[in-house]
Structure 1
Amino acid sequence: MPHGGAADYAASMSFSPRARVHLQNIVANWRTIASLVSQSEAGAVVKANAYGHGVAPVARALHAAGCKTFFVAYVDEGVELRNAIGAEATILAFNGAEPGDADLIRTHQITPVLNALPAIREWLKLSDTPSYAVHVDTGMNRLGVRMEDVPELEDLTASGPPVHVMSHLVDSDDRSRAINAEQLARFKDAASHFPHAHTSFANTGGCFMGQDYGFDIVRPGIGLYGGGPPLPDGIELKPGMTLEAPILTVQSVQPGETVGYGATYTFDTPRTLATVALGYGDGFLRAAGNKGIASLGGIVCPIVGRVSMDLITIDVTQAADLAMPGAFAQFIGAEILLEEQARRAGTVGYELVTGLGHRVRRIYD
């Protein structure tokens, strides 16, 4: 039975938006992506609260399924993750650490990814130097030791080499771009200077490019949650969450009337509207006004007017028999795919899910 009926109204007990987080789907996506690079270990990127899905439940589900290596951005995220999943996993923090973090790093067994020669020099001055990883910049020009500095890096770390060497693809969204192969060649060169280190290069899009990009460990992120670049032929990912919002009111409007702040949408025919409890105060993008869509029972209902802080109005004319106060409209899920909604708002799935705030109740199944 599709969501959106009277039973949903009775069960909701609250006129607030909710995200049904599908842990089994996330695990299934992890396994699907892993199958594309089967000679590599499949890690999981769970930074930014597991891309808005909830780091503790997501990481526990992945760990129970066999995932042993996790990636976060900040040391504090690593501490939270360690407390959630226990000692039997490797955790790497992309944004590195300062020497003052060393005790925290040791206590919680976090591997910081160091991104510049000065940071590495300072880290190596520590007594009982904690294990660390190194990011090599193969073309992103964002973080990492530059390629021309790799020989110096090798000399600097000779007595205390990194346990992990990684880089990051510039445009794995477009698998046809020559820069992918150029970066691959650079990373192979850089990694050859550290033969005993684990190597990692592929994000979700990199995994879609096959085993050549896999190295020792792959780092799928957005793909775990059902988003990311176009899928390879024959591959299907499932939604990591279903974002739903309850209808508060239903009303009819006539030609010439407008809706919402700024009167940005004028009706030219009689329409039925539903106002739902979701807005940019919940992290749903204001840019989706007059562009985004919702679904009631699989029927597409356009967003009309601006997205306001707490409310969105949708045109439910084609789904009028399903539109009633308390029924839930879907904004992300099997009926409204994450990247399709993001595209309509002029952004990417990453921003849409990571921005969802605490007012959106997470329900785990």
Structure 2
Amino acid sequence: MSLHPRALVHLENIVANWRAIGAMQPGAEAGAVVKANAYGHGAGQVAKALHAAGCQTFFVAYVEEGMEVRGVVGDGPDILVFNGASEIERIEVEKLRLIPVLNSLTDLDTWIKYARSSPYAVHIDTGMNRLGIRSEDVPALITASRDAPPAHIMSHLVDSDDPACPLNAAQRQTFSELAQHFPTARKSLSNTGGCYICGDFGFDVIRPGIGLYGGGPPAPAGHRPLPGMTLEAPILTVQHAKAGESVGYGATHKLTVPATLATVALGYGDGFPRSASNNGYASLGGTPCPIVGRVSMDLITIDVSAARDLAKPGVFAQFIGPEVPLEDQAKRAGTVGYELVTGLGDRVRRIYD
């Protein structure tokens, strides 16, 4: 038995989430965001499973990520690179038919001069003020791209986590008006939250990300995202502690009653956040077991008093999964599901089912 923490990656669940989200925006193609190692789940395995299920458009952040996905899905699918491509990456981008997303007029000018016949995408900023060509610069974009039009036009919603936010409708309207100047380009606006909004936010291609992996904003009625992974860690020791004793570094937790404590092989050295100290929890057989004391580099102590019959060395406690929803654990740690799964390191062994 390995004493490492492990992440059981549920590829069938990820595919099921992809299909369910795709059905929410009928008429749009369901792409998949697999950047950041498929949000910590393993880009190669996830992309392979989604491609087998029919996915034909993938999104990554960096050229290196696109190279990995291309090696798995073959020559057919489109792979778009959100952060574009540097000068030294252009040869690989052309050879592997990756599609850089150009985020400024300067990027556009440089790319067209270098690779006039190669496909590219353009990000138009409709309110995020982060990446993309500003709305007022679209006339210059139209002129600059007239002889070599973009294959894709995209933008990004500011607050799609809140379906009622008026910015969503405003951005959709702005994007629709600007994108019509590029009739041959495929249009894309919606991330996971955008896919959840009622109405026509799908355009040509949707870009679900965190929703594929069981996290993100609250899903609409009738859809319950399935967990993309089950994060587990083995119990190393079980001990009984007295009332008045403390637990862990800094004595940040003091027992008011006698307790049975289990120490598990997981910590911030594995990417589990220290902010979960005295806030997060694990599950043993469906029984919540609170984290007591500080999360340390390699170890976490949990109070297993309510599940003492199950708490034995070698038994795995669940920290994300069917019994510990991703966003619930993230909220207790003062973060979001994105950070929790993308932060898991190589010491957490991925096992694919």
TM-score range normalised by the length of the shorter chain: over 0.9
C-alpha spacing 1:309/1:127, structure 2 compared with 1 (3 Å): closer
Deviation at 1:72, TM superposition (A): 0.2
Deviation at 1:217, TM superposition (A): 0.2
The aligned amino acid for 1:178 is: P
Deviation at 1:102, TM superposition (A): 1.9
Q: Distance in 2 between matches of 1:145 and 1:100?
A: 23
What is the match of residue 143 of structure 1? 131
What is the match of residue 225 of structure 2? 237
Deviation at 1:88, TM superposition (A): 1.7
What is the match of residue 321 of structure 1? 309
Give ranges in structure 1 of 5+ residues lacking alignment. Answer: 1-12
What is the match of residue 247 of structure 1? 235
Deviation at 1:127, TM superposition (A): 4.8
Deviations 1:146-189 (A, max 9, x none): 00001110011000010000000011111111111111111011
Give ranges in structure 2 of 5+ residues lacking alignment. Answer: none
Q: Distance in 1 between matches of 2:116 and 2:173?
A: 34
What is the match of residue 90 of structure 2? 102
Structure 1 residue 24 corresponds to structure 2 residue 16 = no
Q: TM-score, normalised by structure 1?
A: 0.96
Task: Kindly indicate whether the alpha-carbon contact (under 8 Å) linking 2:116 and 2:148 is maintained by their aligned counterparts in 1.
Answer: no
Where do 1:13-162 residues align within 5 Å? Answer: 13-162=1-150
Task: Kindly indicate whether the alpha-carbon contact (under 8 Å) linking 1:38 and 1:211 is maintained by their aligned counterparts in 2.
Answer: no
Q: Distance in 1 between matches of 2:131 and 2:115?
A: 26
Q: Distance in 2 between matches of 1:335 and 1:139?
A: 38
Alignment counterpart, residue 299 of structure 1, candidates 269, 282, 287: 287
Alignment counterpart, residue 274 of structure 1, candidates 223, 246, 262: 262
Q: Distance in 1 between matches of 2:191 and 2:153?
A: 14
Q: Distance in 2 between matches of 1:229 and 1:124?
A: 38
CA RMSD of aligned residues (A): 0.8
Q: Distance in 2 between matches of 1:356 and 1:219?
A: 23
Where do 1:119-268 residues align within 5 Å? Answer: 119-268=107-256
Greater mean deviation of Cα atoms: 173-182 or 329-338: 173-182
What is the match of residue 7 of structure 1? none
Alignment counterpart, residue 289 of structure 1, candidates 277, 284, 292: 277
Task: Kindly indicate whether the alpha-carbon contact (under 8 Å) linking 2:101 and 2:123 is maintained by their aligned counterparts in 1.
Answer: yes
Q: Distance in 2 between matches of 1:287 and 1:186?
A: 39
Q: Distance in 1 between matches of 2:317 and 2:12?
A: 22
Deviations 1:41-91 (A, max 9, x none): 000000000000001111000000000000000011101111121112110
Q: Distance in 2 between matches of 1:116 and 1:193?
A: 17
Deviations 1:326-348 (A, max 9, x none): 00000000000000000000000
Q: Distance in 1 between matches of 2:124 and 2:65?
A: 22
What is the match of residue 344 of structure 2? 356
Deviation at 1:211, TM superposition (A): 4.5
Task: Kindly indicate whether the alpha-carbon contact (under 8 Å) linking 1:98 and 1:119 is maintained by their aligned counterparts in 2.
Answer: no
The aligned amino acid for 1:146 is: R
Q: TM-score, normalised by structure 2?
A: 0.99
Deviation at 1:130, TM superposition (A): 1.9
Q: Distance in 1 between matches of 2:212 and 2:253?
A: 36
Task: Kindly indicate whether the alpha-carbon contact (under 8 Å) linking 1:42 and 1:220 is maintained by their aligned counterparts in 2.
Answer: yes
Q: Distance in 1 between matches of 2:89 and 2:282?
A: 45
Task: Kindly indicate whether the alpha-carbon contact (under 8 Å) linking 1:98 and 1:123 is maintained by their aligned counterparts in 2.
Answer: no
Q: Distance in 2 between matches of 1:86 and 1:341?
A: 36
